Structure 1
């Protein structure tokens, strides 16, 4: 018995599933067919499945055949040209009346043929990647999202979203920050580990500067940032850095960035980062209740197995600090990220270099060498939320002049010394001035003007009487 085309296609599918060990009812549910129909085709003896033959001669040629030379020429120029683009250009430039599916079917045959003519191997075809699945707890993927001026009304210029997704279950984590620096990046990891209740065995990154120290040529080992190595060693996970320009290697988290924007942020307004984090936390149960289209299971059910396979959190966290050297100003302030932080005036000198250790929410300032007590810590301040902020501890200025002794008067100066107060009632103002300066105790010599004329040679020198050393006061 010869079956029709639709019948033998179904029969081939039924037989493949039957050989894989599925029952008739399972095949019926998989194919959407009644179980009696499945049983009928599987039990029919002597069925012959026709082989696919060559097209019959004399058939009406397809419309796309007349445009094959044009399509081949375009493919020789760019082998990766999309079928939708080719169809659009044919309609616009050549008044093509055929359907897009005909162009697509022709490209399936023409693209490998043109690639062979050009000497392109399978590795030269861009845009292809391998789909993979992992075991529970085996992998997570990390990425940043830029949310723009989401909190511009609150004075925050830019907002960024940090995303981590468990690859097995697609269970998401997201938090919002105002910076993508080193300390913030790894602090977001600690928050993600607390959200999942453990640490995955491997985390996939792109070549961000907070993970990679510098870029290298393809095929070379990627040098990791020292803080990334220390953090991964403390939490016991491996770092997997993708090759350059391969975003499909972490497609799970790339997709999650768009999902969060559509379901959490779109059409809403927020006043702070806390409100953003709270909105995501409220959405997570809804996400976990959905059935994922790829693995076909409820995300929350699959996440339970994922969380159970994670590695335990260490007893103490690892705090990453971004370190910088900065000079101390004459006002005992240190500039960092356009904000000013105070240090104790008694422990530093102007233009002295100090180390700034910037954490996610704190900034600590340290001496380069320990003091007599063996400590290097100068001060710890909360990190400035906006640029240009002054973060000052007023006790750091103790001992410096503050101007509290400055005063002015429109009257006469008075001497508060006891001796001056005792003589104030019996002396005149001139005598008070002389007594204060001691001028009345200085002897004054008296000579005539002729003496100076004789010294200058204007007149002969004559003997003069001895100098009169009587004081001016006695003469009066």
Structure 2
């Protein structure tokens, strides 16, 4: 209905003794709008309505763009529209209420309804500055530039007093090591650590609440001992106890993530940091009525400084990383994670007061290993987790890899068959298939999977060879080659090998027969 019709409707409901709140609810408008309408006489309302028909609006220059967004993403919020306009036009200065009114006007005028859901939280007084950080995880499935779904997982840190936020995203599940790394980055962003940190009962952090005697995972307990902060857990089924970070997760999903296209995890994190500066920490908070970035400048002064965050130590010494992924210290070899030698030629170490050797990277401050110092000579002191990346279980790896295929159920069936046939080498099998996926297009790997299932070629090496055959076939077919050239191209596959694999290959005649039968 137009404005004058709404005015008549409001007047009629007032005559029927409806309350202002009831009128607002029934007409789906705010109470302020009801008050604005009832203050006008019929003549004033008619004159004002006529003036609005000819009066231009500030956002009319962006009308087509906003309409396109609303039609493509009907659940888009006015706050998101404002953020997207700021992202696209850095000089955009229109206020939030103006954007909200304009979006409401477009939705009414072009009949683009919006569905919304609400969640109620109990108000909890803000703790003092520097007293508490709240941490939580979130996940959201988005679409990449090819229209395929990508599941993103993120961790959020919120300073409870200022509401200043820090976020990190991954397109794979978090491990405890990832969580610890994110904590270090958050503490650097905050300029220190708070007295206590409030968590959900997440398995990456907590083993058991144990009736108040909290049991943390071994790796996270070592981190807590190093940084020295108090761990607090919110009770089960009681999200209000950490409502600040719950609200932050919801805000991130609805304002930053929703309807955004994923390209790669690095650019996504970069966009997130810009969003935090522009909106997440730069916009006035509805609860505090202040910008988190402004309040943070004061709260930062109350954060406890931790020297080990930057790993700057007076006795830090440089050591070369050996080919066997160890460093030498007092005639003993101490391990670092597998693959460190390929990443870093040198690392630094220092000795703590409790006689532990801490090995870290100078550029990023990342701690690679912490070992108890051995009094013996000529020993290898090795952390078993450094021998192989066990951060993900086989089930999780299968889940991650199968999501890369169009036919996820078929991919899961294929990978589970590999698990049955190669129980000792399943990680190597999955790693080889993942490399094929990373290097080739969706069409090729989907075709290779279908053929492997059809011909019962249950081996990662078979899968790799079939992918190579399909690629070569596409290249040859695109040039209208003869049968002799096609056959020669298949013979060239013998030269295609993958680094770090020494598995036997099937005779090329087998693949030639298979490919001929599919033509």
TM over 0.5: no
TM-score range, shorter chain: 0.3 to 0.5
TM-score, with normalisation over the residues of structure 1? 0.41
